[in-house]
Structure 1
Amino acid sequence: MEKSLLQALKIMEFKWLFSGQVVSDFGNWLSFMAVMIMFTYHWELPPEQLALLPIVIAIPWIFLSPFSGVWADRFSKKKLMIICDLVRSILTFMLIFAQNIWSVLIFIVLIHSVATFFDPARQAAIKEYVPENQLLQANSLSQLSVQISKVLSPTIGGVIVAFWNPVYAFIINSICFLISAILLSRLPNVKKKMTPNIESKETKFLSELLSGLKQIVRSKYLIIAVLCVFSMMFFIYLYDSYIALWSKEIGIPSTSFSLIISGIGLGSVLGAFIVGSFGNRIHPIRMILTIPIMNGILFSIIGLGGINVISLNVVVWFIIWMMIGVIGAGIPIAFATIIQTETPSTMTGKVYGFAQSIINIPILIAPLIGAKLINLLGIGYVFLISGLTFSVMSFVALIIFEFNKRTNKISDNIEMESREFNTPSS
């Protein structure tokens, strides 16, 4: 199992790319946890202000991603990623001077604006460095980096915020970005594939910008994947910013709240291992549609706890949140794999940028709707209702997909399932 998953690390270029991601992911989650705990437990901000955090994170991804995706395909991926890491290091360090929610949010907008250039370049680099039959394993490892950071960073971040000061988390994150830049400097330059330049710069840029959207529209699998993740993001962000509030409502102390987030990360680590080892046996679209059904049921159980229908101890809640992580790990892995396999290497950045722009749109409104619903119904009912709706909608979509697959309405006979996603393990 591990041999199959770790096969991509034998590729030296991917090894340096992955190493840089591990370091920067750790720093990212460390400072994110520091901000969440600081907002909820130290400053005791109301739900409406807590909702601003995911919104300001989403704004750059919605409005800048299509443009930054063009630049990611135009320029050296290596140089672009290094510059982004250096800029993010400076901006993260500046967070130590932020004294109120508004100054913190401004720096977060700037940091994620830079990230919109980094991520499409990284996705395009993976496409260039990794053979197609190992893309799922490479994406699983990338997801492992994110989720291992969720396991370690919340615990360390919780200790830092509880016993020292959040500024230490920001300083560590700043250093992590510097280390990531050094590791990425070991990468060879990706050879740029030239295309005939028969248009003016302005016209060519607009044409490249729209080509990302056109590629999504032309591919059945990209359309399904983007629509599914779009819907999933809406339901998740109804309550995602309020996990700390749910934890506080049912009596979990701040020191134990970080364990809940770590549980999600630990489960996601296990889930990424499973998907990376056995995911080739499951069509990624089927994976994207099935996962929300199971997680919706778990969210409903969490909602029942929030309205005091059931009462469980911290250990049981930890296990439930861990299972959510195990099951949900396949979503980003399958999504990234579909984008890479359904997109020419000269367009990976543009398609990824447009896809990120679309799937992040719900974050602008879902947290605010969630805040209103929490004030109206309570945090427990928001989890319960959204979880049940999440499951039912995904189940209906899965039935439609399976029916259309069998009647050849969606298909190229799903040859992609056997050719691209069921390659023999080495």
Structure 2
Amino acid sequence: MLLFGLGISTLGDFIYLVAINVLVLKLTGSAAAVAGLWIIGPVASMVTKFWSGSVIDRFNLRRIMIGTDIIRAIFVATIPFLSSIWLIYVCLFILAVSKAFFEPAAISYITSIVPEKGRKQFNSFRSMITSSAFLIGPAISGALLLITSVKISIWINALSFIISAVMIYLLPNVHADSEVREWKMSINLLKKDWSEVFRFSKEHVFIVNVYFLSQFLMVIALGMDAQEVVFTQKVLNLSETEYGLLISLTGVGAILGAATVSAAAKKLSIRALMALGYIMVSAGYLVYAFSFSFWTVAIGFMILGFFNSFSGTGFMTFYQNNVPVHMMGRISSVYGLFQSILQVIFILLIGFTGDLIPVRYSIIAASVLMTVISILLIRLILMPSKSDYFEEDMKLKNTS
């Protein structure tokens, strides 16, 4: 039921992803406006995540997830009625704030409800469901763009949040309401929580290094994804339908990769998943950056789609096995704050420079940087002295 709830919400997200990019590009015709669309989330995270973790670790996780799903449903449903790009940005800001609460709460909830020995298998199944949504969602959105409009795609996303909220409501609490700690938000509380996060970071330097390098790769990928519609339509001259088909073909690679991980989860180590995943995802982005036709960019996207499940499953299992669940909300939020700052920088670099220099040059530079970071991360992961961090039944170590 948890997988279904998360999966249906993700399906709506992928339908919405194509629609909102097309809507903003049609409304403005500007690469900078599309970049602005993608920068809203990181900005919202920057003003939210420095305190949201304190709430998540002290509040009922299921209620947070249900509440944020309902809020997102309402504001997503409002977007088609707006004709101003600035009002759309306001809605997206509120959506991003809600997401800044939902995602860390969901990670904590999953870690609490799924036994440690079953986390890699669960993560692989979730990746498979996400990949299926990645395949089906854009295909549905592409079809809707042909027969209806972007509004229908966006409203379907709103409905998916309602369904997700209902599914989560039917799940058990990970703790009773009586176990939720009494607290009051204050500067002193935030200082105490941040101090605990920094103390954990000092004691577990290796975990922090792996986390930040992994998230840095995601930041670079997000920067490139922010200009995906611009690159495909203005550089490669692909149509809206071809763009939707391109995303769907990427989904073919993603679902095949997720199925492979799900089938071989017990045989593939966390290290192998991460190392193979990161280097091949980088290779996929390199192919994409140097593409000159629909089929070459499709090959690149299918490669990165296939191996994204490897890196995603490996990293999430590593994170869940090494971070204490009672601090997961604060750690996810504090680290996420720094990640959001980097996201803003990279989206600005790639997006706004796209109005000054050819978009292709920005994408090539970002893909090369991603490859370099991947190699550094893989060297770190494969250090023999750090093998204990990748044991699937390990307990949290006290030193780095």
TM-score normalised by L of structure 1: 0.83
1:329 aligns to 2:309 (yes or no): yes
1:106 aligns to 2:86 (yes or no): no
| Offset of residue 143 of structure 1 | 2.6
1:33 aligns to 2:13 (yes or no): no
Q: Secondary structure at the match of 1:188?
A: coil
Deviation digits for residues 332-362 of structure 1 (CA, Å, limit 9, x no counterpart): 3233222211122212222222232232322
Using a 3 Å threshold, how does the CA distance of structure 1 residues 107 and 415 change in structure 2: closer, same or farther? same
Using a 3 Å threshold, how does the CA distance of structure 1 residues 172 and 381 change in structure 2: closer, same or farther? same
1:65-84 correspondence runs (5 A): 65-84=49-68
1:239 aligns to 2:219 (yes or no): no
Residue pair 1:293, 1:390 contacting (<8 A) in 2 also: no
In the aligned structure 2, how far is the partner of 1:233 from the partner of 1:419? 24
Deviation digits for residues 138-167 of structure 1 (CA, Å, limit 9, x no counterpart): 222223333222211212222323432222
TM-score normalised by L of structure 2: 0.88
1:155 aligns to 2:139 (yes or no): yes
1:125 aligns to 2:109 (yes or no): yes
The letter of the residue matching 2:115 is P
| Offset of residue 34 of structure 1 | 0.8
Using a 3 Å threshold, how does the CA distance of structure 1 residues 203 and 377 change in structure 2: closer, same or farther? closer
| Offset of residue 37 of structure 1 | 1.4
Equivalent position of 1:349 in the other structure:
329
Equivalent position of 1:96 in the other structure:
80
Aligned residues: 392
In the aligned structure 2, how far is the partner of 1:361 from the partner of 1:279? 34
The letter of the residue matching 2:359 is I
Higher alpha-carbon deviation: 43-52 or 276-285: 276-285
| Offset of residue 221 of structure 1 | 4.1
1:318 aligns to 2:298 (yes or no): yes
1:168 aligns to 2:168 (yes or no): no
Equivalent position of 2:277 in the other structure:
291
1:20 aligns to 2:5 (yes or no): yes
Using a 3 Å threshold, how does the CA distance of structure 1 residues 199 and 240 change in structure 2: closer, same or farther? closer
1:253 aligns to 2:226 (yes or no): no
| Offset of residue 124 of structure 1 | 1.2
Deviation digits for residues 392-420 of structure 1 (CA, Å, limit 9, x no counterpart): 34224433554xx24x4xx3xx2343453
1:43 aligns to 2:27 (yes or no): yes
Deviation digits for residues 249-289 of structure 1 (CA, Å, limit 9, x no counterpart): 21321101011112223322222233334345555456445
Give the % identical residues. 19
In the aligned structure 2, how far is the partner of 1:17 from the partner of 1:399? 35
Deviation digits for residues 159-213 of structure 1 (CA, Å, limit 9, x no counterpart): 3234322222222222222221111111121126969989996534532344234
The letter of the residue matching 1:269 is I
Equivalent position of 2:397 in the other structure:
none
Using a 3 Å threshold, how does the CA distance of structure 1 residues 144 and 108 change in structure 2: closer, same or farther? farther
Residue pair 1:291, 1:330 contacting (<8 A) in 2 also: yes
In the aligned structure 1, how far is the partner of 2:352 from the partner of 2:66? 41
Higher alpha-carbon deviation: 45-54 or 206-215: 206-215
Higher alpha-carbon deviation: 222-231 or 71-80: 222-231
In the alignment, structure 1 segments of 5+ residues that lack a partner are: 1-15, 307-311, 422-426
Equivalent position of 1:265 in the other structure:
251
Higher alpha-carbon deviation: 107-116 or 392-401: 392-401
Using a 3 Å threshold, how does the CA distance of structure 1 residues 278 and 93 change in structure 2: closer, same or farther? same
Residue pair 2:116, 2:392 contacting (<8 A) in 1 also: no
Using a 3 Å threshold, how does the CA distance of structure 1 residues 108 and 144 change in structure 2: closer, same or farther? farther
Using a 3 Å threshold, how does the CA distance of structure 1 residues 85 and 401 change in structure 2: closer, same or farther? closer
| Offset of residue 111 of structure 1 | 1.0
Q: Secondary structure at the match of 2:54?
A: helix
Residue pair 2:251, 2:302 contacting (<8 A) in 1 also: yes
Equivalent position of 1:8 in the other structure:
none
Q: Secondary structure at the match of 1:43?
A: helix
In the aligned structure 2, how far is the partner of 1:400 from the partner of 1:92? 41
Residue pair 1:238, 1:370 contacting (<8 A) in 2 also: yes
After superposition, the CA RMSD in angstroms is 2.8
Using a 3 Å threshold, how does the CA distance of structure 1 residues 175 and 270 change in structure 2: closer, same or farther? same
Equivalent position of 1:381 in the other structure:
361
Equivalent position of 1:11 in the other structure:
none
Residue pair 1:230, 1:362 contacting (<8 A) in 2 also: no
1:415 aligns to 2:388 (yes or no): yes
Higher alpha-carbon deviation: 295-304 or 280-289: 280-289
Q: Secondary structure at the match of 1:329?
A: helix
1:398 aligns to 2:378 (yes or no): yes
Q: Secondary structure at the match of 2:256?
A: helix
Equivalent position of 1:184 in the other structure:
168
1:142 aligns to 2:115 (yes or no): no
Using a 3 Å threshold, how does the CA distance of structure 1 residues 213 and 166 change in structure 2: closer, same or farther? farther
Equivalent position of 1:9 in the other structure:
none
Using a 3 Å threshold, how does the CA distance of structure 1 residues 26 and 419 change in structure 2: closer, same or farther? closer
The letter of the residue matching 1:19 is F
In the aligned structure 2, how far is the partner of 1:358 from the partner of 1:171? 32
Higher alpha-carbon deviation: 105-114 or 21-30: 21-30
In the alignment, structure 2 segments of 5+ residues that lack a partner are: 395-400
Using a 3 Å threshold, how does the CA distance of structure 1 residues 166 and 184 change in structure 2: closer, same or farther? same
In the aligned structure 1, how far is the partner of 2:213 from the partner of 2:296? 30
In the aligned structure 2, how far is the partner of 1:304 from the partner of 1:147? 25
Residue pair 1:158, 1:255 contacting (<8 A) in 2 also: yes
Using a 3 Å threshold, how does the CA distance of structure 1 residues 219 and 154 change in structure 2: closer, same or farther? same
Instruction: Say which of 180, 185, 188 aligns to 1:203.
Output: 188
